[in-house]
């Protein structure tokens, strides 16, 4: 089935997500007030005080993801040394720059995956706070990592995906990031999760089913994004776009149209291209709350969904409103150089 949408005077009015059936309506929300939903977030932070320094010291002292507290987390599976993260500018005396261990709270009970916990935590950086942090809220975030560091992180992700797939009971693996409490992150220290599942993960299963009934679906989707002028990266290997069919009003997709396999099956150049396209968007979003998921399966183009969580979720009975202005970000993203 072709993708359903309607244009008026060349502008998108609505579009139906071919995987979920959710209809997005483009609306003018310029005069709508979000003061209530956004709460106090708009206020300028107060000047730093001695108390803030104490709170920051307490935060790192009690953080299970900070160096020195390794014993508070499950046993280590992968350790990446500072010298093995290109351009890492953290403390050169840090015992590590990235670390992987099992999640203390598995997303899927271990008894369903052969008695092995297949939920992993990847600590993306040893640093809890931004280099120039003055307030307890000045947390390090993924978009602040260098591009080279993010590529290295994606290599570690691929290694963990391969490890999980080595368990014969695991059918499907997702890479998931939550940034900020608004996206459901339970730890302030920069990290992401990787989850192995004994069944094809439902979101991926839906995408596979849709692609099976229309083999050209992803190509049609990419062509439509090009026609709507929503693409950011538009190469033969990787395509990214501001998505009008995301789970949240402001979403981006990064797709490898020709790589219909797992993250750990990408070659070095492919992995770099995928990571760079994601990093460009993450750097643009910055410290705002966000989530992303990397979806992968045999016969499915490898892709990531990135959702900005600035505005609360507003799916009503399978409909979503897209503020007209969200597409303005595309031009700014295209102008942005990676680095
Ligand atoms: Zn920490
Ligand atoms: Zn997907």
Ligand 1 geometric centre to CA of 144 (Å): 16
Q: Quick one: which of 214, 215, 262, 273 has its CA closest to 239?
A: 273
Ligand nearest to the CA of 121: 1
Ligand nearest to the CA of 297: 2
Ligand 1 geometric centre to CA of 162 (Å): 27
pLDDT at 238 over 70: yes
Once rounded to an integer, what is the mean pLDDT over residues 199-227?
95
Ligand nearest to the CA of 245: 2
Ligand 1 geometric centre to CA of 58 (Å): 10
Ligand 2 geometric centre to CA of 204 (Å): 6
Ligand nearest to the CA of 19: 2
Q: Determine the angle formed by the axes of helices 147-165 and 268-285, rounding to 10 degrees.
A: 120
Ligand nearest to the CA of 208: 2
Ligand 2 geometric centre to CA of 304 (Å): 7
Ligand 1 geometric centre to CA of 66 (Å): 4
Ion ligand 1 neighbours (CB, 5 A) are 63, 65-66, 128, 189
Ligand 2 geometric centre to CA of 203 (Å): 6
Find the range with the poorest average confidence among 50-54, 95-99, 309-313.
Answer: 309-313
Ligand 1 geometric centre to CA of 127 (Å): 7
Ligand nearest to the CA of 69: 1
Once rounded to an integer, what is the mean pLDDT over residues 22-28?
92
Please answer whether residues 336 and 284 qualify as being in contact, where contact means their C-beta atoms are separated by less than 8 angstroms: yes
pTM: 0.94
Ligand nearest to the CA of 63: 1
Ligand 1 geometric centre to CA of 56 (Å): 10
Instruction: Name the H helices within 124-216.
Output: 147-165, 202-213
**pLDDT for residue 214:** 92
Q: Quick one: which of 30, 37, 20 has its CA closest to 182?
A: 37
Range of the domain at 280: 5-335
Q: What CATH number is given to the structural domain containing 134?
A: 3.30.428.10
Phi and psi dihedrals of 2, rounded to 5? -70, 165
Ligand 1 geometric centre to CA of 190 (Å): 8
- Give the percent of the chain with pLDDT over 90: 81
What pLDDT, in 10s, does the model give residues 268-296? 999 999 999 999 999 999 999 999 999 99
pLDDT at 66 over 50: yes
pLDDT at 312 over 70: no
Find the range with the poorest average confidence among 29-43, 57-71, 97-111, 257-271.
Answer: 29-43
Q: Quick one: which of 118, 121, 263, 123 has its CA closest to 195?
A: 118
**pLDDT for residue 22:** 96
Q: What is the mean pLDDT of the chain?
A: 92
Domain count, the chain: 1
Ligand 1 geometric centre to CA of 185 (Å): 13
Ligand 2 geometric centre to CA of 38 (Å): 28
């Amino acid at each position: 089935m072709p993708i359903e949408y309607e244009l008026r005077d060349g502008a998108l009015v609505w579009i139906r997500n071919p995987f979920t059936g959710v209809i997005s309506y483009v609306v003018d929300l310029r005069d709508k007030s979000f003061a209530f939903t956004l709460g106090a977030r708009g206020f300028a932070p107060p000047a730093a005080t001695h108390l803030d320094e104490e709170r920051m010291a307490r935060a790192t002292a009690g953080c299970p993801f900070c160096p020195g507290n390794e014993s508070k987390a499950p046993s280590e599976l992968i350790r990446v040394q500072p010298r093995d993260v290109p351009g890492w500018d953290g403390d050169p005396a840090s015992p590590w720059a990235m670390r992987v261990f099992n999640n203390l709270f598995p997303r899927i009970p271990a008894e369903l995956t052969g008695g092995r916990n297949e939920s992993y935590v990847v600590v993306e950086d040893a640093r809890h706070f931004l280099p120039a942090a003055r307030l307890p809220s000045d947390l390090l975030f993924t978009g602040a990592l260098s591009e080279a560091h993010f590529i290295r992180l994606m290599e570690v992700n691929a290694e963990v995906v391969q490890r999980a797939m080595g368990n014969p009971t695991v059918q499907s693996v997702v890479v998931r990031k939550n940034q900020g409490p608004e996206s459901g992150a339970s730890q302030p220290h920069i990290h992401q999760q990787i989850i192995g599942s004994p069944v094809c993960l439902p979101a991926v299963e839906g995408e596979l089913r849709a692609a099976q009934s229309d083999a050209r679906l992803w190509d049609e989707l990419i062509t439509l994004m090009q026609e709507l002028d929503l693409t950011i990266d538009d190469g033969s290997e990787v395509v990214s776009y501001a998505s009008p069919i995301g789970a949240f009003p402001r979403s981006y997709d990064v797709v490898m149209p020709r790589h219909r396999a797992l993250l750990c099956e990408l070659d070095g150049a492919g992995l770099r291209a995928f990571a760079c396209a994601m990093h460009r968007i993450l750097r643009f979003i910055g410290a705002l709350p966000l989530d992303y998921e990397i979806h992968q399966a045999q016969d499915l183009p490898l892709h990531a969904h990135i959702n900005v969580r600035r505005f609360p979720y507003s799916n009503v009975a399978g409909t979503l409103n897209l503020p007209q202005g969200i597409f303005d970000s595309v031009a700014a993203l295209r102008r942005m150089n990676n680095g």
